[in-house]
Structure 1
Amino acid sequence: MAAKKILMLVGDYVEDYEVMVPFQALQMVGHTVHAVCPNKKAGDFVRTAIHDFEGDQTYSEKPGHNFVLNFDFAQVKAEDYDALVVPGGRSPEYLRLNAAVLELVQAFDDAKKPIAAVCHGPQLLAAAGILNGRECAAYPACGPDVEMAGGRYVELDVAAVHVEGNLVTAPAWPAHPAWLAGFLTLLGTKITL
C-alpha cells in the first residue's frame, strides 16, 4: 500500500477526540495528514472542545486541548490530496460559511476521493451541496441539515458507520473504530497483524 496524503479541515472548537484520534491514527498507519484552518498557518493552533454524553438531552461541552496545525490553509490544493477528513464539533457550523472550504469539499467529491465526516462534519458536506440523493449519517441534530440538502439522513447507533460510495459518515466519536476502518478500506489501507 502506498501512503496517502490526507487533508483535514478544522477550526476553533472542533471536537477534541474527532480531530486528535484520526489525526494520530492515520499517521500511525503511514499516511501523511495535513490539518488546516482558514486564515491560519502551520504552527498556529485551534482550540478544541470535548463533547460527552452524560444523560442530558444533548452532549455536554468542556474545554479541550490546543490542537497545532501542521500546514498552511492558503497552500492547499485539492488535487494534491487523496482524501478528506471533516471532524465534528462546532467548527463545521462556521467553516461552511467559507467559500474556499466549500470549493475544497466539492473538488474532493467531484474527483470521487474518499471523504470521512463525523458528528457535525456532515454540516459541511450539506453546505457544499454534495449530499443530494445520497445517504449520510451524522449527529442526530444534524439530520435536518442532511435532509434539507437533499440527502437521506441515516440514523445509526452512536458506534456505527455508514459507507456510501466515497462517503464515510458516523454519528459521533464513539464510532471511531468503525468509522476509521471504513475510511481505511476506501483508502486501500491494509493492516496486517
Structure 2
Amino acid sequence: MADKERKPEVWLRGRLAGVPALLQPVAHALLQAREEINELMTGFPDSLLWEKLAGMASPGFHLQHLAGVLNRLFTYAKGEQLNHEQLNALKAEGIPLSGEYAVDTLIATFNNQVDNCITQLKDADETTLTESRGVGRAQLPSTVIGLYTHAAEHTMRHTGQLLVTVKVLSDRYSGDTESRLIT
C-alpha cells in the first residue's frame, strides 16, 4: 500500500466504540501495535524467528513477550495474581517450545491477546482506575490505570525493538537463511 493510501494511525481514526474515554489511548496503542506487527511480520521467515542481533532479543522472544506481558498486566489490573500457567509461560519466553514456533502461531497468539485486552478495557469501570493493585509476588504498588498505561507503553517499546530487529535480519539475510553469521 502506498503511503498516500495508508489509513491514519489508530489514534487519529476516532473514538473506539465501547472503550471508556480515559482508556481510549491504551486501546489505540494496542491496536496500532497489532497493525504494525502484523504488517511487519508478513512474509518473515520462520527460520529467522530466533536469531539475535548483537546479543539482543530475537523476534520470537519479542512476539512471545508482547502477548505474555499484556496477559500478565491485565491480570493484575483485574486484581488477580498470576496462575501456574502464566508463570510457566513467563519462564518459557524466548525459548522455542519443541525447538520451533511459527511466525503465524506467535502472531495469532498476540492478536488474540490484544482482542482480550480490548474486551477487558470495554468492560472496565472508570471509577476503579485509581484503585491500588499489587504487582507480582512482592505486591509492588500500582493502580488499574497505571497497569493499563504501562501495558500500552511496554507494547509500543517492544514493537519498536521488534521492528528494528526484523528489518535488519530481513535485509541481512534477504533470501539466504542458510549462511547465518549473527549470533
For normalisation by structure 1, the TM-score amounts to 0.27
| Structure showing the higher helix proportion among its residues | 2
Tell which has more relative contact order, 1 or 2 (C-alpha 8 A, sep 6+). 2
Structure with greater Cα Rg: 2
Q: Give the TM-score of the pair, scaled to structure 2.
A: 0.28
